[in-house]
C-alpha cells in the first residue's frame, strides 16, 4: 500500500476508526428551515462515507435553536424530533464502515439575527464582535448553567440517533471559545477571570456529557490553537487549553484556529499553503496524550502521510478538499493520486453559504446536489459527441459524457487543457488554479477521450465527425474599449498579459478595470517591477468576490504600491499616457503610462454556435460562451447538460 500510515486503524477512546482520514465539519445549509435533516444532506455525507473517509464530522448542530445559529438551515439538536432523520444519516454512514460524530455548536456573539428569527445574540459578556452586526446580551449565571445543560442534551440526542461520538465546537470565536478567551470574556463570576474559570464552561460541558452519555461515548473538542488576532491568545495558551480539555475527559482534540475577526486565516484563502497549520497540531500533540487531528488546506495524500509518519498528528482532516472530491481516500488508497480533483481555494463554497445559499463547489458540481444529480447512466452506446473547448466546462462535459459511454472528441486550440485557468494561475497566489487542468488531463486520458490539443475546431471539422451532439465551451475573449487610441500597439488585454504573451518590466502601466481580473493584473504587474495605476469607474474595486479574498487582493495592491483610482472613466489612450475623467466632477486628467492593459470583462465567443445552430438538435452552449460567469457556472451547466443528454 502506498500510504500505510494513512490507512492504519486509529483509536479515539474505545472507538476504532478504519483509517486516519477525517472529514472536517463544514456547514452545508442543506437542512430544512427548522433544522431537520433532509434527503440531500444525508446523501451528501453518505457520498463521502462511500468515498472512504474513516470518520465524518457533521456540521455545526445548534444546541439552542432560538439564538445559536450563525448560518441558515443548520442542524438542530435541541429537540428529540431530530432523532429519526439523524439516525437515517448515521445508518447510511455506517453502511460504508465509517464513523460519525456530531458537532455541538452555539454561535454566541457570532450568531446571526437573520438565522434566529430576529433574536438578539447572547454571550459570556456584552462585547460585540468587530466582524458581526449585533451586540450580544450577557448571559446570566443561571443561563450559563442552562446553556451547559443544552450542550449535554444535544450530545444525548446524537447518542440516541446512533452517532459514534460528539464534538464540542470550542473554536472559531463561537460561544465556548468566547468563554475561554480573555478578549471576549470579562465576567466576574466563576465563569470569568482566571484561566481555570474561563475554561469552566467548556470543562463542565465535557464532564456533563461523560456523566450523561458514559465514558464509551467519545468526546472531541475543536479548539483554537491560536485566535489569530492581536487581542487574542497565541499558541502557548492554546496548548494550555488542550491540556485542560484532556484533563476534563476529552478523547480527541481537533486543532483549528481563528475567530471571524481573524479571517482570512480561518478559511485558508488561496494565499495559504498546504498544511500551513500543521505546526499547531504538532505542538499540541507533544503536550497531550490523547489523539490529535490536524487541518489546514491539505490536498495531497503524500503530504498527509508525512504528517502522520513524522508524528505531527494522529488524524488528518480534509475540509474543502472533501467537498471537491469525496473519493479522495479511495483514490489515495488505490494510488490514483493524479485522479484526485483538488480544491482550488477559490472560496466558491464559502461565498455561497454566507450569501444565503447551500454548499457548492466550483470543481465538483455534484457537491450539495448528490440526490438531485444522479450518477451518470451508461447509455451513450458509443455515439460520437464533440466538445469544443478544454476549459473547466469542457473538461467536465467530456468527463461525464465519457463515463456515460459516448465516444468523445475534445478540441482545444491551446497547447494544454485548462482554458482561462492556464493563465489565471499566473496571478499572485493562484497556483492552485492549475490543479483542475492537471486533473482534467489525467481523467480524460483514463476515460479514453480523444483530446486534440493545438487544434481549433471549425464547423467543417465538427461536421466531418457526424456527431450525435455538440457541446460548445468556446469561452470568451477579452476586449478593448473603443476609445480614441485603443488600437495603439502598447494597449493589451488582461488576457494577453496574464497568458504571458507580453512581458513587462520597468514600465509605467495603467490597468483599466477594477474587477477581480483587473486587480490581479495590476498587483502582478507591480510585483514584477512595474509602476502600476488601477482605474475603475465604480467607487471601489474588486466588489464581485468573497470579502476575505477581496481583502487579500487589496492588500496585495497596497503591498506592491499600486495607485488605486476609483470613480474614474477612461476617455483616451495616448502614446505616453491615458486621459481619464472623474465620474462625479467630469474633470479630466492624464495618467503617465507607456503601457495600457484593459481588464473590462469578456465577450462570449459564439461564432461556432451561430454557424451550427440550425444543424444540430443536440447543441449546447455554456460557460463564458453563453454568459460571463464563474468556474462553477461553467462546470455546473456542463454537468447538467452532459447528464441529461437523452436521459
Q: Any idea which residues carry the catalytic annotation?
A: 174
Instruction: Please report which residue ranges of 35-108 form alpha helices under DSSP H.
Output: 39-50, 83-94
Cβ-contact 516, 542 below 8 angstroms? yes
Instruction: Pick left, alpha or beta for residue 349 (phi over 0 → left; psi -120 to 50 → alpha; otherwise beta).
Output: alpha
Q: Which residues pair with 621 in a beta bridge?
A: 472
Cα angle for residues 106, 111, 112 (degrees, 5° grid): 150
Cβ-contact 453, 415 below 8 angstroms? yes
Give the separation between CA 58 and CA 27, rounded to whole angstroms: 8
Cβ-contact 235, 277 below 8 angstroms? no
Task: Please enumerate in sequence order all residues whose Cβ is within 8 A of that of 217, keeping only pairs 6 or more positions apart, or say none.
Answer: 155, 159, 165, 166, 209, 210
- Whether the ω angle into residue 264 lies within 30 degrees of 0, i.e. cis, is yes
Cβ-contact 433, 421 below 8 angstroms? yes
DSSP code at position 109:
G
Sign of CA pseudo-dihedral 421, 422, 426, 430:
positive
CA-based R_g, the chain, Å: 26
CB atoms within 10 A of CB 38: 15
DSSP string of 144-184, one letter each residue: HHHHHHHHHHHHHHHHHTT-SEEEEEE-TTSHHHHHH-TTT
* Grid cell digits, residue 41: 444532506
Torsion of CA 610, 615, 620, 624, to 10 degrees: -10
* Grid cell digits, residue 266: 480561518
Cβ-contact 303, 332 below 8 angstroms? no
Query: Phi and psi dihedrals of 57, rounded to 5?
Result: -95, 120
Instruction: Pick left, alpha or beta for residue 173 (phi over 0 → left; psi -120 to 50 → alpha; otherwise beta).
Output: left
Amino acid at each position: 500500500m502506498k500510504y500505510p500510515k494513512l490507512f492504519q486503524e486509529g483509536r479515539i477512546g474505545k472507538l476504532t476508526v478504519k483509517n486516519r482520514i477525517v472529514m472536517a465539519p463544514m456547514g452545508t445549509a442543506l437542512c430544512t428551515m427548522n433544522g431537520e435533516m433532509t434527503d440531500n444532506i444525508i446523501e451528501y455525507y453518505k457520498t463521502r462515507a462511500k468515498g472512504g473517509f474513516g470518520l465524518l464530522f457533521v456540521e455545526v448542530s445548534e444546541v439552542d435553536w432560538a439564538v445559536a445559529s450563525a448560518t441558515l438551515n443548520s442542524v438542530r439538536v435541541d429537540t428529540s424530533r431530530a432523532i429519526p432523520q439523524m439516525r437515517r444519516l448515521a445508518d447510511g454512514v455506517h453502511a460504508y464502515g465509517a464513523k460519525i460524530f456530531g458537532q455541538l455548536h452555539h454561535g454566541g456573539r457570532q450568531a446571526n439575527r437573520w438565522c434566529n428569527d430576529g433574536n438578539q445574540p447572547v454571550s459570556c459578556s456584552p462585547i460585540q464582535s468587530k466582524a458581526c452586526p449585533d451586540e450580544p446580551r450577557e448571559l446570566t449565571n443561571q443561563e450559563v448553567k442552562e446553556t451547559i445543560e443544552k450542550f449535554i442534551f444535544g450530545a444525548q440526542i446524537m447518542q440516541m440517533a446512533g452517532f459514534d461520538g460528539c464534538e464540542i465546537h470550542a473554536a472559531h470565536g463561537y460561544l465556548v471559545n468566547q468563554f475561554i478567551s480573555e478578549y471576549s470574556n470579562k465576567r466576574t463570576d466563576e465563569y470569568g477571570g482566571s484561566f481555570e474559570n474561563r475554561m469552566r464552561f467548556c470543562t463542565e460541558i465535557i464532564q456533563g456529557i461523560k456523566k450523561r452519555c458514559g465514558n464509551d461515548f467519545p468526546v472531541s473538542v475543536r479548539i483554537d490553537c491560536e485566535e489569530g488576532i492581536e487581542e487574542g491568545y497565541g499558541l502557548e495558551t492554546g496548548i494550555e487549553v488542550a491540556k485542560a480539555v484532556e484533563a476534563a475527559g476529552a478523547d480527541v482534540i481537533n486543532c483549528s484556529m481563528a475567530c471571524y475577526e481573524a479571517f482570512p486565516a480561518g478559511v485558508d484563502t488561496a494565499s495559504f499553503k498546504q498544511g500551513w497549520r500543521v505546526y499547531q497540531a504538532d505542538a499540541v500533540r507533544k503536550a497531550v496524550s490523547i489523539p490529535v487531528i490536524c487541518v489546514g488546506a491539505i490536498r495531497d495524500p503524500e503530504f498527509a502521510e508525512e504528517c502522520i509518519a513524522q508524528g505531527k498528528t494522529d488524524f488528518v482532516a480534509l475540509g474543502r478538499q472533501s467537498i471537491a472530491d469525496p473519493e479522495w481516500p479511495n483514490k489515495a488508497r488505490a494510488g490514483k493520486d493524479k485522479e484526485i480533483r483538488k480544491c482550488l481555494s477559490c472560496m466558491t463554497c464559502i461565498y455561497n453559504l454566507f450569501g444565503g445559499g447551500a454548499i457548492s463547489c466550483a470543481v465538483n458540481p455534484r457537491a450539495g446536489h448528490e440526490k438531485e444529480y444522479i450518477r451518470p447512466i451508461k447509455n451513450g452506446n458509443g455515439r460520437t459527441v464533440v466538445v469544443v473547448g478544454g476549459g473547466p466546462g469542457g473538461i467536465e462535459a467530456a468527463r461525464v459524457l465519457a463515463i456515460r459511454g459516448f465516444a468523445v472528441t475534445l478540441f482545444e486550440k491551446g497547447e494544454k487543457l485548462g482554458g482561462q485557468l492556464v493563465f489565471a494561475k499566473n496571478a499572485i497566489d493562484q497556483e492552485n488554479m492549475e490543479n483542475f487542468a492537471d486533473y482534467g488531463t489525467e481523467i480524460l486520458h483514463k476515460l479514453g477521450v480523444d483530446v486534440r490539443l493545438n487544434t481549433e475546431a471549425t464547423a467543417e471539422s465538427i461536421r466531418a465527425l457526424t456527431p450525435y451532439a455538440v457541446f460548445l465551451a468556446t469561452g470568451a475573449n477579452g476586449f478593448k474599449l473603443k476609445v480614441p487610441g485603443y488600437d495603439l500597439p502598447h494597449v493589451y488585454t488582461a488576457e494577453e498579459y496574464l497568458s504571458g504573451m507580453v512581458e513587462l518590466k520597468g514600465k509605467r502601466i495603467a490597468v483599466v478595470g477594477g474587477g477581480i481580473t483587473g486587480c490581479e493584473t495590476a498587483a502582478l504587474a507591480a510585483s514584477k517591477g512595474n509602476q502600476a495605476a488601477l482605474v475603475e469607474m465604480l467607487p471601489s474595486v474588486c466588489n464581485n468576490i468573497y470579502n476575505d479574498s477581496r481583502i487579500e487582493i487589496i492588500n496585495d495592491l497596497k503591498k506592491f504600491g499600486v495607485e488605486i483610482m476609483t470613480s474614474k472613466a477612461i476617455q483616451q489612450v495616448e502614446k505616453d499616457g491615458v486621459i481619464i475623467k472623474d465620474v462625479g466632477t467630469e474633470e479630466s486628467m492624464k495618467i503617465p503610462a507607456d503601457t495600457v492593459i484593459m481588464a473590462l470583462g469578456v465577450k462570449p465567443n459564439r461564432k461556432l454556435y451561430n454557424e451550427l445552430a440550425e444543424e444540430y438538435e443536440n447543441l449546447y452552449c455554456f460557460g463564458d460562451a453563453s454568459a460571463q460567469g464563474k468556474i462553477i457556472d461553467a462546470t455546473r451547466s456542463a454537468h447538467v447538460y452532459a447528464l441529461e443528454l437523452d436521459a
